[in-house]
Homo-oligomer: A and B are copies of this chain.
Amino acid sequence: MGRPTIKDVAEYAGVSPKTVSNVVNDYEHVSDRTRAAVREAIDALGYRINIAGRQLRRGRTGMITLAVPDLDIAYFAELAHHVMPEAERRGETVLIVETGGRREREIAAVQGFDAEFTDGVILSPLALQPRDLARRDTRLPLVLLGECNPPGTADHVAIDNVSAAREATAHLLSRGRRRIAVIGGALRGPRNTGRLRTMGYQQALDAAGVPLPNDLVKPVPAYRWADGATAARALMRGPERPDALLCLNDHLALGALRALHEDGWSVPKDVDVVGFDDIEATRYSIPTVTTVAPDKPGIAREAVGMLLDRIDRGNADDTAVEKVAGHRLLVRESSGG
């Protein structure tokens, strides 16, 4: 015989399938005796509910998707680590999907792939275009993390990237740094995370009356260790040698640290280094890395909450919600802390 069904349990306990269902779902109006009998039957038969039957009937899977670029990026692993228990606390299971930061995979995620797996999606996009959202032909509830597509398109949680970068830059300026490079930055283009943080950097320079240095805003192919190392090496060997590196995530900062070490530069004596995300490695590296710490538990809580709200409301088409998560600058050895 195959796996026991609710019918088998019912037969064994001498009740109807509906009664078993009532017990399984903690329905109140079940006599203690019946409940006990059903429980016993469940144990005896080793019954486990078949989620497919339930979700077919209920029209909900009890699962939500968390789509991130890459679990190899510690920030996303840490984020997942916070999202999963938060979802579990609220009775949902999380399906993690890696997009690789590729646009077609991100589009697939906001479309619910080709199958309707989950009740909603939390996506941390990198390549998604505003028009991809506009074209979305589904009511699949969606919450966006980090990247700031034109507000109003979807629910969204992020830190205040402009302020965060402004504070980090102001910190470097207050240490007398004037030739501050931005690794992973962008002086123009869409208002993605890199652009917003570069704007904050520019604002801090403006406020201090420091002119924007030439050629020190350096884009990178990705926010990985190797990219930080390459960029730092190029900047330090270039004509406009910086005295500080504002790295737009911690992996870039740690990669930069390594390249600086190899080229014989001392941090923070010759050059300061600052990162974003507060991944665990920055607390143990040599030197430890000053970083902007986003409120990860808060982001996870808000994202899950917003998504479940939308799912519960049937994703009614009202206006999108914007939430700003907290952040703080943790000054460590790499900038004199």
Shortest CB–CB separation between residue A62 and chain B, in angstroms? 9
Q: Whole-angstrom distance between the alpha carbons of A280 and B226 in the complex? A: 10
Most buried by B among A46, A55, A115: A115
What 1/0 flags go to A100-132 for Cβ under 8 Å of B?
000000000001111111000000000000000
Interchain CA distance A179-B286 in the complex, whole Å: 25
Check A3 for interface membership: any CB of B closer than 8 A. Answer: yes
Instruction: Identify the interface centre among A63, A85, A95, A117: most chain B CB within 10 Å of its CB.
Output: A117
Residue A48 at the chain B interface, CB threshold 8 Å: yes
Bound Cα distance A50, B280 (Å):
40
Query: How far, in Å, is A325 (CB) from chain B's closest CB?
Result: 19
**Distance in Å: Cβ of A220 to nearest Cβ of chain B:** 15
Q: Which of A49-106 contact B (CB under 8 A)?
A: 49-53, 55-56, 61, 63, 70-72, 74, 77-78, 80-81, 84-85, 93-98
User: Is A258 at the interface (CB under 8 A from chain B)?
Assistant: yes
Q: Which residues of B contact A61 (CB under 8 A)?
A: 51-52
Nearest chain B CB to A100's CB is how many angstroms away?
9
- Which B residue's beta carbon lies closest to that of A46? B137
Residue pairs across A and B with Cβ atoms less than 8 A apart, 19 shown, are A46-B137, A48-B111, A48-B115, A48-B116, A49-B114, A49-B115, A50-B115, A50-B116, A51-B115, A52-B56, A71-B71, A71-B78, A72-B81, A84-B97, A93-B117, A94-B96, A225-B283, A255-B284, A261-B286
